[in-house]
Chains A and B, each alone.
Chain A
Amino acid sequence: MSNSIKRESPLQYFHGWFNKSSAPESLFNDQIDCDLVIKEAPLSAHLNLRGDAEDSEFCAAVTAVLDVPVPKVPGTYHRNGNTSIYWLGPSEWLILEVGGDGAVIEATLRASLKGHISVVDVSGGQTCINLRGAGAATVLKKSSVYDFEGWNDAQSAYGRVVQTTFAKASAAVSNRPDGSYDLVIRRSFADYLAQWLLDAGGEFGCRIESS
């Protein structure tokens, strides 16, 4: 039965799309040079975690399960292997495990955490996309009011995350050591954002792929 179960990621239908506004005939031509590559990490585990950041038992229990420290500094995230924890608010985090199973992680965390906490599997509702290439920083500037360049000046240039506006939707944007950016976006806005990125990235040559 499970073989016939169809799973669709939010950007499923956009994998393989191209746009280069200087050469319109190349919309579906994978030979063009792209300075903006958008790569979805589809069907990963996304969980929303709530709890008291000052509660060391809570933080220790989370780390024991995920092997990632809970970020307490606003606007930062920690990553270990495929698993990341992003700061979303003073008592709120996003857990993202590439290729993980949200339901399993939820059950494990629930078994380990005590007191007033909340764990919610939101894997179906969002997806993570990576923006890399020479055009990535400019496309962020086109899309969001947040000052991403400001991250370069900061002492900890990497490991930053921000929830902000993105075009007329929103995204949680984080930076990676290789200079690329990860965006966590909502499923229902995925079509709109894919079209936005193809359009805004068109001047650089832009393609969407899946990992």
Chain B
Amino acid sequence: MLLIHCPHCQEHRDEEEFSYGGEAHIVRPLEPEALNDQEWGDYLFFRTNSRGIHHEMWYHAIGCRRYFNATRNTVTYEILETYKTGTQPRVTGDSL
């Protein structure tokens, strides 16, 4: 049971208020029609599946209803930071 800091509510809240939103920072191609099937498939289906540092989206579903991002260590489940959508993480695989 994770304890997650919501950057909008500015509090640590229990995991059961949130739902997981998948990998963060995946940008939708501006012109999908310009992509061939393989390129579109990469956007659609392929994720990094990191061991260690992972940037991911969470939705504060039973709370403020905002999406935000978290940097989580997928090995220890430690959440190293949470940050608002549209901003960049401070902790990255390179920074460790």
Contacts and interface: CB of A to CB of B under 8 A. Distances in A.
Given A89-B65, A163-B64, A165-B62, 4 more contacts: A145-B14, A162-B9, A163-B62, A165-B16
A89 B13 contact: no
Given A88-B64, A170-B62, A165 B17 contact: yes
A75 B10 contact: yes
A88 B9 CA distance: 9
Interface string A173-208: 000000000000000000000000000000000000
For chain B, give the interface size range.
Answer: 10 to 19
Contacts of B65: 88-89, 92
A75 B64 CA distance: 10
B64 A92 contact: yes
A164 B17 contact: yes
Contacts of A88: 64-65
Interface residues of A, number: 13
User: Quick one: which of B8, B16, B64, B65 has the most chain A CB within 10 A?
Assistant: B64
Contacts of A162: 9, 63
Contacts of B9: 74-75, 162
Nearest to A169: B62
A71 B59 CA distance: 23
Contacts of A146: 13-14
Given A145-B14, A145-B16, A145-B17, A164 B8 contact: no
Interface in B1-60: 8-11, 13-14, 16-17
Contacts of A89: 8, 63-66
A169 B63 CA distance: 12
A90 interface: yes
A89 B66 CA distance: 8
Given A75-B11, A146-B14, A164 B64 contact: no
A202 B28 CA distance: 53
Interface in A26-76: 74-75
A72 to B, nearest CB: 12
A145 B14 CA distance: 7
Contacts of B14: 145-146, 165
Contacts of B63: 89, 162-164
A74 B8 contact: yes
A165 B66 CA distance: 16
A89 B68 CA distance: 13
20 contacts: A74-B9, A74-B64, A75-B10, A88-B64, A88-B65, A89-B8, A89-B65, A90-B8, A90-B64, A92-B65, A145-B16, A146-B13, A162-B9, A163-B63, A163-B64, A164-B62, A165-B14, A165-B16, A165-B17, A165-B62
